Structure 1
Amino acid sequence: MRTPRRLASTILTLSLALALLATAALAQAPKNVILLIGDGMGVEQVKAAALYATGRPEGLAFEAYRVGRATTDSLTSRGKPKLATDSAAAGTALATGAKTNNGVISQAPDGRDLPTVLEVLARTGKLTGLVTTVPMTHATPASFGAHTAKRTQYAEIATAYFTGSRPNVLFGAVVAGGKGVTEPGARDAGYTVVRTRDELQAFTQAAAKSAAGPADLHVSGQFAPDMLPWEYTGPLPPDPEKKRKYPDHADVTYETAPHLSEMTRAALRLLERGPSGFFLMIEGGAIDWACHDNCIERCVGETLEFDRAFQAVMDWAKGRTDTLVIVTADHETGGLKVVAGRGKGAMPEVAWSSGGHTPAAVPVYAWGPGADRLKGAIDNTALFGVMTGRATPAAAEAAAQ
């Protein structure tokens, strides 16, 4: 018969063994982590796009991988039903696993920099990339590669990219608020600058054949001044009161600029050269802009191109067991409600309740190792631990030292 002391010792040994096993399980981030963020994309935005594209309410490619939903409150909006997060605080939650105040980029309320998933995984030897359809210094991509007290510090965010986090791939539009990523700044930081689809394809093909090590890869795709062109090019309802805030036309067209799905394919081809894997964030940023304008036509167009970017990811990832793919949103925009579908190829009847963000939970879709940890109702901070393989931000930072 075991003595109480021996029994206690056995229990302690088993507890330690289980703790070590749990730690080991958390210590392995997937080799490749791909996060797609539909800015402003709630459940109804997805439904509207699916109805237009397929005539069915659940017809988009990423909907086959629905695992749950995520709450999105920030420290500013928590406990205040009439308030909602912004992209800075929501991006920070996704990127760092920590809550902060609206308007803040990956800093705690006391001003401390919060390590981001991009930074943590880069320290483990992974290549990194940020891809967006809006300015590269806007809040969502900035949350992964910069730390600022105000989301409008666009020049500081650009400097942080080039002198701090240094993502290997940085694609999108250039200017926000008259400031942002510049060609001289990128070149001075050792980045190759590409400005068109043809230049991107030529660079990607050359890089695939290059003898240079993948860690030497740094490319800035500066494809438009302030936004990539709208995907929807059909007629819009009249706007006599000029309520639409966002431009009707970008300064470039898709004759020369790459679509989000094309930027995604190029980023994957460039980053796959990393022997330790990569982290890639892909943002459909103009979904949010369309919803701020309550423009269902542009919302649908941007969401469908976002779905094509997801399909490009899955075309690359299928058959692999070392890649985690997550699709979600930072928040919902517009309070959209689909009233009725009108058949494939016809815009659904919809209603909007807001011109801003709402506190609605957003859908989460996932595939690959760790996807099961995102099932059910979660908070948006939970994604950080799954992407880094660590339970907490502190554990992830300590492991990357």
Structure 2
Amino acid sequence: MQLLASLTICLCAGFSTAVIPAEEENPSFWNKQAAAAIEASFKIQPRIHQAKNLILFLGDGFGIPTITATRILKGQQQGKLGPETPLALDAFPYVALSKTYNVDRQVPDSAGTATAYLCGVKGNYQTVGLSAAARHSQCNTTAGNEVISVLERARKAGKAVGIVTTTRVQHASPSGTYAHVVNRDWYADASMPQDARQQGCKDIAWQLVHNVDFNVILGGGRKYMTPKGTPDPEYPTNSGQNGIREDGNNLIEMWLQARPGARYVWNRTEMLAAAANSNVNYLMGLFEPGDTKYNLVRNTTLDPSLTEMMEAAITILSRNPKGFYLFVEGGRIDHGHHDGAAHKALTEAVEFDRAIERAGVLTDEAETLTVVTADHSHVFSFGGYTLRGSSIFGLAPKVATDGKNYTSILYGNGPGYPGSERPNVDSDTAMQYEYLPQAAVPLDSETHGGEDVAILAKGPMAHLFHGVQEQTYVAHVMAYAACIEPYTDCRQRDSAPGIRATSLALLLPALLLPLFH
């Protein structure tokens, strides 16, 4: 009982105020818990019928270590110990692992991975929506190597489609739904070399408004859409936030003119009003010149949260009787990790989980396939034999061999490299939002990790997610579940909702249909 008493420590010391329950000392607690989980498993029945709606939640950089740390943080924010607290995604019944490598890189980037999980074909590092026959930054390798996303195929099948992200909407992950580009950084024409423009390659923002008929576009990225020098509506006196396009096009106006009744908004109030208007079927909302602000420091009056953007998107997309495809990205999880700033990454991840939970309330699992995954992991870890209930951001209980404290969270590389002599760290410093946990190797930007990431799924045909799969499998299962190209002859098309699994129904076609070209 001394252990239990020692854990009743105030949050200001880096601990949760929760106490380890006494019943956890009794084996019957764990036996009953496991027996209940087994009983619940027998009640899981695959939903063998066509999915009306498809939702892909993509946590950028949301690797398994980040998932676990997010679970702990979520619990501790609720005054609990942490590890025992379920995330919304923990309730998803079907789980698989995804191999994330690019064709040319063992440790991938977000562009090549987006091509895999959105288009069903692996590509090269820093290229988007192209097969591996395309070469980075070589414009003349674009034509003929384009691969098509499930989102675009869903639109051609008559469904409403949308993207929601906390990054700029032209960023690598969301651009995989619509763009075909040999350099992920070609956000606007001003971002491209002159020879690429002369050869006819188009920037990502241009492709956003021309390649796919989106119903909903929500995120950041205003400055890539307007002519050079156009003042930003939120920062009109800051010339650094002005539009940057050199072709003179206002892509926002072009998008609106092509869609009568469409709305453009740049703040939370306007977004909520547009979503509440039942006559609105097209909405573009760009809430920052670049990426949106981190959730903990955003202007809650002007800037919507990821959950609010997601809810607005589902509200509008649900007006299509044929269903919808929605891509939702918690994109700044990745940015927090690249900055070596664990507080930023994990608080973004908690908001990502909140969006997943809210989507479950807004949709019907019987007709909506919901998939949660990551594009890649990070060289982020937490260890140090910390006491249960100690802050995920806190110190390990023992000092290192140099006699100094260290935090539970550490990075393999990145901006947190301490230099030739490692400084001591105290609990108050470690708990600061801007604190950078120490890293082993000095880099301006922390790198991705190369390990497998999780796939979690629920809804129609979610049982197809199992085992260890190539990342391309995500796109194929989502297309198969909705019976859209190239799986229009899916076996479950005529199955009634709720039908029990049979060995035949559980199988994918014996021969894969042509790849997503």
Give the TM bin, normalised by the shorter chain: 0.7 to 0.9
2:288 is aligned with 1:229: no
Other-structure match for 1:327: 372
Q: Whose radius of gyration is greater, 1 or 2?
A: 2
Other-structure match for 1:130: 163
Structure 1 residues not aligned, in runs of 5+: 1-26, 78-82, 234-251
Please point out which of 23, 48, 73 is paired with 2:101.
Answer: 73
**Paired residues of 2:269 and 2:301 also in contact (CA < 8 A):** no
Other-structure match for 2:69: 48
Secondary structure of 2:70's aligned partner: helix
Identity %: 29
Distance 1:352 1:346, change over 3 A: closer
Other-structure match for 1:34: 55
2:188 is aligned with 1:141: no
Structure 1 segment 198-217 matched on structure 2, within 5 A:
198-206=269-277, 208=278, 210=279, 217=281
The structure in which a higher percent of residues are strand is 1
Secondary structure of 2:477's aligned partner: helix
Instruction: Report the alpha carbon displacement of residue 56 of structure 1 after superposing the two structures with TM.
Output: 3.2
User: How far apart, in 2, do the equivalents of 1:326 and 1:337 lie?
Assistant: 26
User: How far apart, in 2, do the equivalents of 1:351 and 1:400 lie?
Assistant: 40
Instruction: Report the alpha carbon displacement of residue 99 of structure 1 after superposing the two structures with TM.
Output: 0.6
Higher relative contact order (CA 8 A, sep 6+): 1
Structure 1 segment 36-115 matched on structure 2, within 5 A:
36-54=57-75, 55-57=81-83, 59-65=86-92, 67-77=95-105, 83-110=106-133, 111=142, 112-115=145-148
**Per-residue Cα deviation, 1:22-80 (whole angstroms, up to 9, x for no partner):** xxxxx975110000000001111111111122133352111221512211011012xxx
Distance 1:352 1:345, change over 3 A: closer
**Paired residues of 2:57 and 2:356 also in contact (CA < 8 A):** yes
Please point out which of 371, 384, 387 is paired with 2:475.
Answer: 384
Secondary structure of 2:287's aligned partner: strand
User: How far apart, in 1, do the equivalents of 2:163 and 2:130 lie?
Assistant: 19
Other-structure match for 2:305: 259
Instruction: Report the alpha carbon displacement of residue 393 of structure 1 after superposing the two structures with TM.
Output: 7.4
User: How far apart, in 2, do the equivalents of 1:295 and 1:399 lie?
Assistant: 39
User: How far apart, in 2, do the equivalents of 1:299 and 1:262 lie?
Assistant: 19
- One-letter identity of the residue aligned with 1:280: L
With normalisation by structure 2, the TM-score equals: 0.62
Instruction: Report the alpha carbon displacement of residue 363 of structure 1 after superposing the two structures with TM.
Output: 1.2
Distance 1:360 1:337, change over 3 A: farther
Instruction: Report the alpha carbon displacement of residue 341 of structure 1 after superposing the two structures with TM.
Output: 6.0
Please point out which of 167, 179, 192 is paired with 2:263.
Answer: 192
Corresponding residue pairs, total: 343
**Per-residue Cα deviation, 1:251-297 (whole angstroms, up to 9, x for no partner):** x6222110000001100000001111000000000000011122111
Instruction: Report the alpha carbon displacement of residue 345 of structure 1 after superposing the two structures with TM.
Output: 6.1
**Paired residues of 1:124 and 1:400 also in contact (CA < 8 A):** no
**Paired residues of 2:220 and 2:291 also in contact (CA < 8 A):** yes
User: How far apart, in 2, do the equivalents of 1:400 and 1:71 lie?
Assistant: 19
Please point out which of 353, 360, 381 is paired with 2:412.
Answer: 353
Distance 1:288 1:179, change over 3 A: farther
Q: More displaced, 263-272 or 44-53?
A: 44-53
Distance 1:256 1:94, change over 3 A: same
Distance 1:286 1:52, change over 3 A: same
User: How far apart, in 2, do the equivalents of 1:136 and 1:326 lie?
Assistant: 20
Instruction: Report the alpha carbon displacement of residue 175 of structure 1 after superposing the two structures with TM.
Output: 5.0
Please point out which of 436, 445, 460 is paired with 1:369.
Answer: 460
- One-letter identity of the residue aligned with 1:34: I
**Paired residues of 2:479 and 2:486 also in contact (CA < 8 A):** no
With normalisation by structure 1, the TM-score equals: 0.79
The structure in which a higher percent of residues are helix is 1
**Per-residue Cα deviation, 1:326-370 (whole angstroms, up to 9, x for no partner):** 000000123434443652765352121131011111111111012
Secondary structure of 1:189's aligned partner: helix
Structure 2 residues not aligned, in runs of 5+: 1-47, 76-80, 134-141, 189-202, 225-242, 257-261, 395-407, 414-445, 489-512
**Paired residues of 1:162 and 1:189 also in contact (CA < 8 A):** yes
**Per-residue Cα deviation, 1:176-211 (whole angstroms, up to 9, x for no partner):** 88758x9931222224211111101111111x2x2x
Secondary structure of 1:172's aligned partner: strand
Secondary structure of 2:275's aligned partner: helix
User: How far apart, in 1, do the equivalents of 2:387 and 2:214 lie?
Assistant: 42
**Per-residue Cα deviation, 1:222-275 (whole angstroms, up to 9, x for no partner):** 111222221235xxxxxxxxxxxxxxxxxx622211000000110000000111
User: How far apart, in 2, do the equivalents of 1:37 and 1:187 lie?
Assistant: 29
Other-structure match for 1:18: none
**Paired residues of 2:50 and 2:367 also in contact (CA < 8 A):** no
**Paired residues of 1:341 and 1:347 also in contact (CA < 8 A):** no
- One-letter identity of the residue aligned with 1:172: G
Q: More displaced, 117-126 or 171-180?
A: 171-180
- One-letter identity of the residue aligned with 2:89: F
User: How far apart, in 1, do the equivalents of 2:170 and 2:387 lie?
Assistant: 36
User: How far apart, in 1, do the equivalents of 2:359 and 2:327 lie?
Assistant: 11
Distance 1:232 1:189, change over 3 A: closer
User: How far apart, in 2, do the equivalents of 1:292 and 1:399 lie?
Assistant: 33
Runs of 4+ deviating beyond 4 Å: 175-180, 390-401
**Paired residues of 1:74 and 1:102 also in contact (CA < 8 A):** yes
